[in-house]
Amino acid sequence: MQALGWLAHGGQLAWDLKGGQANHSDVIWQLIVEAIEVIDKTPDQERRWLTSGNRSGGWNMIGMSRAELLVIERIRILSAMKPYDGQTKVAPQRDDVERSLGVLAWMRWCNTARLPDRLVKAAVALARGGDAEIVHRLYCPTRKPNRQNIREIKTRTIGFILTGLKNDLGIVPGDGLSFKEPNHAA
């Protein structure tokens, strides 16, 4: 089952982050954090299409003299830029994108919450490493900001996902950081 493989990967992420203190909640949360990161780093096709005309000339455009090119190169060197320094291109592996989309689909289980849109938006902002003030405004705009709210967002999101894994996929926490299907457990 794919979800068990994803959870095993999350177990490795949680172990790498917290070592022996990691628990099943950390596994779920680290999968969400990684999923948001992978999706954010995936190239945006529409943005690439919109900006494609801007880079057609490059540095060596027609009409630039050799002196102008040397000035530009000198500025780049003085600015500590490497030759051909530009935007880095990240091309996530197909399995990473598939896992990320699958993990983010688990957020649908948060729909049983009282205000599911607020919870999901706040959880995504928190997983993205968002500012605590923004997270508070998304989740509980009428409450005074405090650490309890952040903990509540994580706990509720993870709780809904663990419940969804159990009810829909038949996956429950196992020993250590593992997950298992109870009817297939040895």
For residue range 28-50, what is the model confidence (pLDDT) as tens digits?
999 999 999 888 887 766 545 54
**Number of structural domains, the chain?**
1
139 is a domain residue: yes
56 is a domain residue: no
85 is a domain residue: no
Write out the E strands in 135-181: 172-173, 179-180
53 is a domain residue: no
* pLDDT value at 86 more than 90: no
66 is a domain residue: no
Give the integer Cα–Cα distance in Å for 108 and 163. 12
Predicted confidence (pLDDT) per residue in 122-170, tens digit: 999 999 887 788 888 888 888 888 888 889 999 999 999 999 999 999 9
Per DSSP, the three-state class of 152 is helix
pLDDT band at 80, cuts 50/70/90?
Answer: low
52 is a domain residue: no
Residue the block writes with tokens 């060197």: 77
Per DSSP, the three-state class of 173 is strand
174 is a domain residue: yes
The whole-number pLDDT of residue 82 equals 59
Range of the domain at 118: 2-43+90-184
Per DSSP, the three-state class of 29 is helix
30 is a domain residue: yes
